[in-house]
Amino acid sequence: IIYLLLVCVLIGARTSSRMVGQVAKNPATIQVAKPIMDLVVANNITSANILPNQTVDYKFNVNNFQGSVTTETKVQFKFNIKRKPAAAAVAARNYTFKLFEVSGTTETEINPTTYTGILNSGSNETKSYILRVTWLDDGIDYNSVKDVSAFLDITVDGVQLIS
């Protein structure tokens, strides 16, 4: 009987340590990673009135870190940019927009519906973008459009790439 008890205890201890080992081998199964978007309104407006065909630049970054926490997996991300319903006064105005990826002083126009970005793992990485909005109407007050969320919904959706 003592021999059987000893065998059962050893088998139980070995099984439980194996379960813990499986969790430790693949932390990506419990790792949550998502890109973080920082929006900075830095543009070329010098007065409160926006003239027809004048552009406003909205600069933003997509990061793989927040504070001192960096993602431990590669992240693939896509943009989702939609016009808000015309019920809002600003959203009803006529405008066009283009998205540009910024690398140093080079701006490259990208299609936000087909573009896929990558943020690598293990070190802080930032991708920079400019959303350039051209206002076609007259009499638009800059104060009503300096917050891009007044007329556009912008999100960044990301998934982990586990290799």
Q: Are residues 23 and 49 in the same domain?
A: no
Q: Per-residue pLDDT tens for 31-74?
A: 344 556 666 555 555 557 777 888 888 888 888 777 777 777 78
Contact 133, 50 (CB under 8 A): no
CATH of the domain at 67: 2.60.40
Range of the domain at 17: 1-29
As a whole number, the mean pLDDT across the chain is 71
H-state helical runs in the chain: 2-25, 142-145
24 and 53: one domain? no
Q: Could you give the number of structural domains in the chain?
A: 2
> Does residue 94 share a domain with residue 133?
yes
The Cα angle at residue 111 between residues 108 and 115, in degrees rounded to 5: 90
Residues 36 and 22 in one domain: no
Instruction: List, in sequence order, the alpha helices (H) in 1-159.
Output: 2-25, 142-145
pLDDT at 4 over 60: no
Residues 125 and 62 sit within 8 Å (Cβ to Cβ): no
Confirm if 56 and 45 have CB atoms less than 8 A apart: yes
Is the pLDDT score of 119 beyond 80? yes
- Interstrand relation of 54-63 and 49-50 (parallel, antiparallel or unpaired): unpaired
**39 and 79 belong to one structural domain:** yes
Per-residue pLDDT band for 9 (boundaries 50, 70, 90) equals very low
Same domain for 22 and 48, yes or no, is no
Question: In angstroms, rounded to a whole number, what is the distance separating the alpha carbons of residues 13 and 10?
Answer: 5
Same domain, 46 and 73: yes
Whole-structure pTM value? 0.70
